[in-house]
Amino acid sequence: MGVMEKLKIFVVKEPVVAASCLIAGFDNGNWPV
């Protein structure tokens, strides 16, 4: 199983946690959100 497939399954199982991680990643990254 590839990393992207694992990531997709994680997003499906834990959408709230995945969204929080994405938001935190954007806040800490180079994207001004």
For residue 1, the model assigns a pLDDT of 67
* pLDDT tens-digit map of 1-33: 688 898 888 888 888 887 887 777 766 665 554
Which residue range is the domain that position 24 belongs to? 1-33
Upper half-sphere CA count for residue 31 (Cβ side, 13 Å): 7
Q: Tokens 């497939």 belong to which residue?
A: 5
* Residue type, position 9, single letter: I
Model pLDDT, residue 27: 67
Q: Is the pTM of this model over 0.85?
A: no
Contact 18, 10 (CB under 8 A): yes
Task: Give me the number of domains the chain comprises.
Answer: 1
